[in-house]
């Protein structure tokens, strides 16, 4: 057939995270033994009381308003008031089929460049490419815990000299780090002075291990769009339900995004929206669920980080989410002997030799010659882990030994990495 692709899409590839998940499944089906640290899906079950709500509303088939069910938008606004101490009117909330779709639509809507601190989630940059936006990576540093520095942000906005969109993700994918209140305030000050719109991707906010997530919207309410959804803290990734909360000064952005939505996805799935009302409203049951999710992830994350650090891998212990970003730079000479010179060959060789699946730092926006990778510590039975944690009083510290065989695959995978490095 005599058809052509848009030239800028000729080399567009599948999302690295989705690809590695599908590839891992294929290799396992072929009989390969893998230690799956590649794909970052919550291991926990969706809370039963939320699943019940979905069942109760499964019969609903009507189209809902483009911006979302009013009861859900109100629940989201109330949620931000209670959880984040941020006053948002329901009319400033936009519901979509996942925060990923909303972020894409935002990049399609706004003019100007996108500023992205790295390491960053794999889909931000491809979305800028698809929408033909100018992309400016800001490479953060290990010594700063992979946190964007105000001076770095100031430097780039001075160079760009046009209204920009800054995408800030915390707790972060792929490194599991976050910002202090003072750090957010300093970044907010730079954004205010330079008229930078902030897309604050807080999808992992409720998985801050201490439950102490703070939004930059507290310090820059007039220029911050908050992004969140059900995929991480509610473990409902496949339900595809996300939301944006806009400042009133960006109502024109919200309305344009809603117009685009009306011509594309129409609305988020109706039964899921009704079920989501319960997820955002039932704070008591959600907090009980999150307490156990957080302490399980903190325990496993601490084990992985300390074990790798003992083996001389450079690692910043995670503070939230379920990722870490190990740097194998201390093994540069040894890896060179194995013909490994970058993160891509590092992950390829590690998979080939040890069956350990990591994602290379290059797909998270880092320079290809760095020897870093993302490790997602989610390969365990989340339902059993929750049962185990709930059997232990909240006052007691959960240890890796308490989790026993539930985390055997995780422990074996970490040991395989270390053994491979020591060969």
Residue 323 in any domain: the answer is: yes
* Low-confidence winner among 17-31, 54-68, 142-156, 315-329 (lowest mean pLDDT): 17-31
Residues 154 and 269 occupy one common structural domain: yes
Provide mean pLDDT across the span 147-158: 97
d(CA 378, CA 216): 28
Provide mean pLDDT across the span 354-365: 96
Residues 77 and 177 occupy one common structural domain: yes
132 DSSP assignment? T
Burial class from Cβ neighbours inside 10 Å (0-12, 13-18, 19+) for residue 330 reads middle
- On the question of pLDDT at 2 being above 80, the answer is no
Residues 180 and 307 occupy one common structural domain: no
Residues 401 and 343 occupy one common structural domain: yes
Provide mean pLDDT across the span 99-127: 97
Residues 190 and 69 occupy one common structural domain: yes
d(CA 371, CA 391): 40
pLDDT on residue 1: 67
- On the question of pLDDT at 226 being above 90, the answer is yes
pLDDT digits (tens, 9 = 90+) for 374-389: 999 999 999 999 999 9
pLDDT digits (tens, 9 = 90+) for 255-277: 999 999 999 999 999 999 999 99
d(CA 311, CA 102): 41
Share of the chain above pLDDT 70, in %: 100
pLDDT on residue 18: 79
* DSSP SS3 for 374: strand
Residue 383 in any domain: the answer is: yes
User: How many structural domains are present in the chain?
Assistant: 2
pLDDT digits (tens, 9 = 90+) for 166-181: 999 999 999 999 999 9
Residue 98 in any domain: the answer is: yes
Domain end point (choices 281, 309, 340): 281
Token readout for 244 is 């944006």
pLDDT on residue 5: 86
pTM: 0.95
Please tell me the total number of residues recorded for the chain in this structure: 423
Provide mean pLDDT across the span 337-357: 94
- Ordered DSSP codes for 314-370: B-PPPSBTTEE--B-GGGHHHHHHTT--SHHHHHHHHHHHH-EE-EEGGGGT--TTS
Residues 358 and 417 occupy one common structural domain: yes
- On the question of pLDDT at 365 being above 90, the answer is yes
In the block, tokens 């770095």 appear at 152
- Ordered DSSP codes for 261-280: HHTTT-SS-HHHHHHHHHHH
CB 150 within 8 A of CB 166: no
Domain end point (choices 233, 254, 281): 281
Provide mean pLDDT across the span 191-204: 97
pLDDT digits (tens, 9 = 90+) for 234-259: 999 999 999 999 999 999 999 999 99
Residue 50 in any domain: the answer is: no
Residue 55 in any domain: the answer is: no
* 161 band by pLDDT with thresholds 50, 70 and 90: confident
Residues 322 and 268 occupy one common structural domain: no
- CATH of residue 330: 3.90.1150.10
First-to-final CA distance of the chain: 52
Domain end point (choices 281, 297, 317): 281
Provide mean pLDDT across the span 106-117: 97
Residues 138 and 216 occupy one common structural domain: yes
* 332 band by pLDDT with thresholds 50, 70 and 90: very high
Residues 169 and 151 occupy one common structural domain: yes
Residues 139 and 161 occupy one common structural domain: yes
- CATH of residue 234: 3.40.640.10
CA-atom Rg of the chain in angstroms:
21
Residue 178 in any domain: the answer is: yes
Residues 208 and 152 occupy one common structural domain: yes
Residues 274 and 350 occupy one common structural domain: no
Domain that holds residue 81: 60-281
Residue 410 in any domain: the answer is: yes
pLDDT digits (tens, 9 = 90+) for 3-16: 888 889 888 888 87
Residue 52 in any domain: the answer is: no
Provide mean pLDDT across the span 293-305: 98
Provide mean pLDDT across the span 143-172: 95
């Amino acid at each position: 057939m005599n058809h052509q692709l848009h030239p800028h899409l000729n080399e567009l590839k599948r999302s690295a995270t989705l690809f590695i998940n599908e590839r891992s499944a294929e290799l396992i089906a072929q009989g390969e033994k893998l230690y799956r640290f590649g794909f970052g899906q919550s291991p926990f079950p969706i809370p039963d009381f939320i699943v019940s709500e979905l069942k109760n509303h499964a019969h609903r088939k009507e189209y809902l308003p483009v911006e979302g069910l009013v009861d859900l938008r109100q629940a989201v606004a109330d949620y931000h008031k209670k959880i984040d101490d941020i006053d948002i009117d329901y009319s400033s909330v936009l519901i979509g089929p996942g925060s990923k779709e909303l972020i894409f639509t935002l990049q399609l809507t706004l003019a100007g460049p996108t500023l992205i601190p790295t390491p960053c989630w794999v889909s931000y940059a491809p979305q800028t490419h698809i929408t033909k936006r100018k992309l400016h990576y800001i490479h953060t540093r290990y010594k700063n815990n992979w946190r964007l520095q105000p001076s770095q942000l100031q430097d780039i906005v001075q160079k760009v000299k046009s209204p920009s969109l800054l995408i800030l993700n915390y707790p972060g994918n792929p490194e599991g780090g976050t910002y202090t209140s003072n750090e957010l305030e300093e970044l907010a000050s730079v954004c205010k002075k330079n008229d930078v719109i902030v897309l604050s991707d807080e999808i992992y906010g409720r998985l801050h291990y201490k439950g102490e997530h703070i939004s930059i919207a507290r310090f820059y309410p007039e220029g911050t769009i908050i992004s969140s959804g059900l995929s991480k803290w509610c473990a409902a990734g496949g339900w595809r339900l996300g939301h944006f909360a806009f400042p009133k000064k960006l109502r024109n952005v919200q309305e344009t995004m809603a117009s685009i939505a009306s011509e594309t996805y129409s609305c988020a799935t109706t039964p899921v929206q009704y079920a989501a009302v319960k997820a955002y409203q039932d704070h008591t049951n959600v907090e009980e669920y999150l307490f156990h999710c957080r302490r399980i992830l903190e325990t496993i994350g601490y084990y992985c980080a300390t074990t790798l650090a003992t083996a001389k891998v450079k690692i910043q212990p995670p503070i939230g989410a379920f990722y870490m970003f190990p740097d194998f730079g201390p093994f540069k000479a040894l890896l060179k002997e194995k013909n490994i010179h970058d993160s891509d060959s590092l992950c390829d060789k590690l998979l080939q030799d040890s069956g350990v699946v990591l994602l290379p730092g290059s797909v998270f926006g880092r320079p290809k010659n760095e020897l870093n990778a993302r490790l997602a510590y989610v390969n365990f039975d989340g339902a059993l882990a929750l049962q185990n944690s709930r059997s232990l009083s909240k006052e007691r510290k959960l240890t890796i030994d308490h989790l026993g065989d539930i985390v055997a695959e995780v422990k074996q995978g970490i040991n395989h990495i270390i053994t491979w490095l020591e060969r």
